[in-house]
Chain A
Amino acid sequence: MLFADFYREMRFLSKQRYIVLFLSAVFALSAFAVWSGLHETKLQQATIERLLEKDTVDRENVLAGHGDYGSAAYYSFHVTYSEPSSLAFAAMGQRDTFPWKHRIRMLALEGQIYETDAENPELSLFGRFDFAFIVSVLLPIFVILLLHDLRSGEKEAGRYDLLVATAKKQHKLWLSRALVITTGLALAMLVPLLVGAAIMQAPLAKTAAMVLITLAHLLFWVVVTVIAGRMMLARGQNSPRIASALLGVWLLATVIVPVVSDTLINQSITGPNGGEVVLTQREAVNGAWDQPYEVTWDEFLKTHPEWADYTDMASSFDWKWYYGFQQAGDQHAAELSKAYRDTIVRKDVAAGKASLMSPAMLTQRLMLSLASTDISASLAYEQDVRDFHASLRQFYYPLLFKGGEFELEQLADMPLYRQRLSN
């Protein structure tokens, strides 16, 4: 029976040009957002591929042109990267804010990690027009515009009493009409997403989860809009007032709560910033040139006591001393760096709690998590870089400390960066 009502309302609403045009516009927006996400994903993949191609050639050239391990380590760059996940096209998230590629050397790491500028600061300020943005921010507006006058519009058009008096089951009329519009909106939003997911061969479970998040947010606003519309109509409010009230709720949930919570979080959870970490590490490294050798060795041997018997230097400059104070520089900034990362995590946890008050925030966070483009994914990539850098040191220290003739073959086992799978 409900199917018959649904079919009737579908035929009826499909003849309303406004509805058809509106849903077409939503489809176009969603398709554009997905296309833009796919385009960005392909660009990032191509950039990584290009960097990887050059990376090997560049390193081979560098290594061939140097005759000692210290120079080889100094002049060799290593590309590290965080490949976009198969659903990143739908929610670029922190990939616009946190770096997803670094070319690092065996120098002090902290400066290399936090020296990066955002690729597009303006874009990261306003947020990308991706699928997650449409679902979390614009979708409620679509729902409000289409459904705020579900009943009041008929009242104002003078049809309400006739409709109510004619409909066999009054609630089925409104339910089926709201259901048709909701289904139309869901299809207009989700078809481009599903096409994008098919192109990227995204895992079925994650794609299904993305669809469910979209539907949950859609249904939340449908329920709010329909109930508020009904209650306000019963209190004699007209369509513009209902729309205004609902847009007020949207403004509160989608703009004011996130902005206020962000401000409160930033004020209540403070910590060092990346610039301070870079400066601290740089000052320690630069200062080492003027310090007695023992100061560097004391600091270095705190974490690498196994090289205590190999600190003798044949001249005033030795690469092992150079890398020793690079290591000491990182150690000097380690506490600050950890505090910086802890602050990011604490802010993220607080933002997660605040998102329970804002469906838009919650939706966006869930989508970023699914797409592996959230803070956790960014920190995981940073940890990958740290681990790789540590493995480089692990590889070079024996060659630098034990001395011996430079042999290119010794470098054949040099570690290569491999991203942990995030798809």
Chain B
Amino acid sequence: MSEPVVVAESLNVRFADQCVLDDVSFTVNRGEVFALLGGNGAGKSTTLKTFLGTVAPTSGSASVLGHSVTSDSDFIRSKVAYLPESVMLYGHLTGMENIEYFLSLADVKRSASDIEAALKRVALQADAWHKKLADYSKGMRQKTAIALALLRSAPVLFLDEPTSGLDPSAIDEFNQLVTALSEAGSTVFMVTHDVYGACQVAHRIGLLDQGKIVGVFERSGSELIDTEQVHTAFAKRNA
């Protein structure tokens, strides 16, 4: 039986006179990878920020594990790991120190060997672990943030354009990781404009256009979602 984890119901967000999200509803179940696909300005990041509690919904509701984002943000933060599009951790700290700092912020205790294991799992080369983050490439920073998300052992992952800027092999590694996490029971909610990447990992894809969900695509059995079909719908909306 499917268990709803991330739920949006008639979600509306307005900034001044601009309607950014218009009656958005979707449900992401436990262990599912759900990708919200859309072009620039479609409202993807606003949807994500609403679940993170940094944007307040104008009307409607958003909840994670049955807890409202507006009234239970502390609870939600403790259950969610977030991977931003452009990972900007602290340049004056090393990769290890950054992870230690953010884990401490989340009040999560992990040993140095746990952190090293996570960094190995995301394939960040060992000689970089104790280098200042200012010297990291974007891919290395992304891996560090993924390691942080893994170490938090959060049941829900929010990913913002997770493969943006990664090289093809890093994207493959990342997709495998997301699949493994999903199989282990984690719920993944990602926003992306990468049609191919979304089709590789997502169980369902919601197509967002001008603040509305205009289409939903889902896997049929063990078959991946048809990239061509999604691409056509996406291109039509973003022509």
Contact (A159, B89) CB under 8 Å given A164-B53, A165-B77, A167-B105 = yes
B side interface size, CB within 8 A: 30
Stretch touching chain A among B80-88, B185-193, B211-219, B223-231? B80-88
Interface secondary structure of B, over-half rule: mixed
Contact (A165, B82) CB under 8 Å given A8-B101, A8-B104, A160-B54 = yes
Whether A168 and B74, one on each chain, are in contact in the complex, defined by CB atoms closer than 8 angstroms, is yes
- Mask for B87-113, Cβ within 8 A of A = 1, else 0? 111101100010001101111000000
What is the CB-to-nearest-CB distance from B99 to chain A, in angstroms, rounded to a whole number?
11
- Mask for B188-215, Cβ within 8 A of A = 1, else 0? 0000000000000000000000000000
Contacts of A162 in B (CB 8 A): 82, 84, 87-89, 102, 145
Q: Judge whether A420 is part of the interface by a CB distance below 8 angstroms.
A: no
What is the CB-to-nearest-CB distance from A344 to chain B, in angstroms, rounded to a whole number?
54
What is the CB-to-nearest-CB distance from B129 to chain A, in angstroms, rounded to a whole number?
17
Q: Judge whether B234 is part of the interface by a CB distance below 8 angstroms.
A: no
In whole angstroms, what is the CA distance A199 to B77 when docked? 52
Whether B86 and A166, one on each chain, are in contact in the complex, defined by CB atoms closer than 8 angstroms, is no
Contact (A159, B92) CB under 8 Å given A166-B82, A173-B105 = no
Q: Judge whether A305 is part of the interface by a CB distance below 8 angstroms.
A: no
Q: Judge whether A157 is part of the interface by a CB distance below 8 angstroms.
A: yes
Q: Judge whether A163 is part of the interface by a CB distance below 8 angstroms.
A: yes
> Can you list 20 A-B contacts (CB < 8 A)?
A12-B93, A12-B101, A15-B92, A17-B92, A159-B90, A160-B54, A161-B49, A161-B52, A162-B145, A164-B53, A165-B53, A165-B77, A165-B158, A166-B81, A166-B106, A166-B152, A167-B77, A167-B106, A168-B74, A168-B106
Known: A12-B93, A162-B145. 12 other contacts (CB 8 A): A161-B54, A162-B88, A164-B54, A165-B54, A165-B82, A166-B82, A166-B148, A166-B152, A167-B106, A168-B77, A168-B105, A168-B107
CB-CB nearest 9 A-B residue pairs = A158-B88, A165-B82, A168-B107, A167-B105, A165-B52, A8-B104, A166-B106, A166-B105, A159-B88
> Which residues of B are in contact with A by a Cβ distance under 8 Å?
49, 52-54, 73-74, 77-78, 80-82, 84, 86-90, 92-93, 97, 101-102, 104-107, 145, 148, 152, 158
